[in-house]
Amino acid sequence: MSIIFMLTGVSLLLAIGFLGAFLWAIRNGQYEDDYTPSVRMLFEDSKKEKKSNENKNQKQ
């Protein structure tokens, strides 16, 4: 049964790790803006960028 003492301690440490991650995320401003990233991830511009880069290269 004494293993439970250890496991409890370990699980608590793990949980403290998650708490730390949460606090870090807040301090880092991850919850400041909960709308823009949802729009940003849908932007698709890699193709056009490539094209324009190619054009520039050709000009040079």
Residues lying near another protein in the complex (CB under 8 A)? 4-5, 8, 12, 15-16, 18-19, 22-23, 26-27, 31-36, 39-40, 42-43, 45, 48, 51-52
User: What is the rounded CA–CA span in Å between residue 35 and residue 22?
Assistant: 19
Minimum gap (Å) between residue 7 Cβ and another protein: 12
Cβ proximity to another protein: between 31 and 57 the closer is 31
As measured in angstroms, the least distance from the Cβ of 50 to another protein is 11
User: What CA–CA distance (Å, rounded) separates 4 from 9?
Assistant: 8
Burial of 16 from C-beta contacts in 10 A (0-12 / 13-18 / 19+): exposed
